[in-house]
A and B are shown apart, each in its own frame.
Chain A
Amino acid sequence: MQNDTGRDITAEKLHSDPLSWVEKYADYLYGFAMSRLRDEEVAKDLVQDTFLAGLQQAERFKGNSNEKTWLTAILKNKIADFYRKRSSGGLKELKEKDAVQEQQDFFDADTGHWNEKYRPQAFGLEVDNPLLVKELGAILNECLSKLPGLWLSVFSMKHLDDLASELICAELKLTSANFWVIMHRTKLNLRACLQKNWN
């Protein structure tokens, strides 16, 4: 309990104590950002941005929601902005063109059969072995960080945020057909990347 006379000015003005944020929430927010971005540098930047944005909004924070929830909401917006930035403009077209190129290599253009080089082979992995699954997870993170931003955002909005496809399409300005093509390409790329690095 805080003693009224001992309250400093900051705490009186704000319903929040920004000086304790890093200690209390930095790791949590970083983990949250990493789950969505799988990129340490970007995740760090967004956590920092979140705290600074939080400071600017702190006066409006009435303490009627949990501080952690409030900061997480700010971070979510930052992540969404990042996705939007990465998925807009010429960059997107360029990446999608590359992707078409790449996908043609997975399958024979005429028959749709797997090309020899990319044909799935068993990982030889016992899924009930937590150590192996963890190792696979580390490789998967590396594979994820190599994906175009748009693909990763589509993939994580679908699987982590569990959003309906229609909502993701609206958010990222995609057609439904594009959405499914991206989901397909993302998985083909991730699977191939795992197979290449798993051994």
Chain B
Amino acid sequence: MKSALKNIIYNCKQATFLIEKKLAGKITAAETLQLHIHLAGCSVCKIYQQQSILINQVFVGFNNEDFKLDEAFKKTMKENIEKEINKN
């Protein structure tokens, strides 16, 4: 435990790894404690955590309706479908 704690307290690479694991799955009680201690003393990783959550939110909030096909491509697709039907 002691060395695990020491490992995490100063290790931002490990801390950000635990942040990701926590956000997308779950971490153990020991890992939760390690992360908690790290974040208490590391403002940079705290910013990372906020931004990581924000990225997830923006990613999931993607609005399908903002994307429309251009008419020319639609026309081509329609012609391809017609061609395919007439083959039979």
Contact = CB atoms under 8 A, between A and B. Distances in A.
B72 to A, nearest CB: 11
B77 A184 contact: no
Given A180-B20, A184-B17, A187-B52, A165 B25 contact: yes
A159 B59 contact: yes
A112 B11 contact: yes
Contacts of A82: none
Contact of A165 (B17, B24, B48, B55): B24
B54 interface: yes
A24 to B, nearest CB: 11
Give the interface SS of chain A, mostly helix, strand, loop or mixed.
helix
A194 interface: yes
A188 interface: yes
B4 to A, nearest CB: 14
A151 interface: no
B68 interface: yes
Contact of B13 (A27, A112, A120, A156): A112
B60 interface: yes
A43 B25 CA distance: 29
Contact of A19 (B25, B59, B85): B85
A22 B65 contact: no
B12 A113 contact: yes
A133 to B, nearest CB: 6
B81 interface: yes
Contact of B69 (A44, A123, A160): A44
B52 A55 contact: no
- What bracket does the count of chain B residues touching chain A fall in? 35 or more
Interface string A58-73: 0000000000000000
A174 B64 CA distance: 29
A183 interface: yes
B62 A137 contact: yes
Interface string B6-49: 00001111101100110011000000000000000000110110
Contacts of B84: 52, 55
A26 B77 contact: yes
Interface in B50-79: 51-52, 54-56, 58-62, 64-69, 73-74, 77-78
Interface string A30-48: 1110110000000110011
Contacts of A156: 59
Contacts of B81: 18-19, 21-22, 51-52, 55
Given A35-B64, A47-B69, A184-B16, A22 B55 contact: no
A120 B48 contact: yes
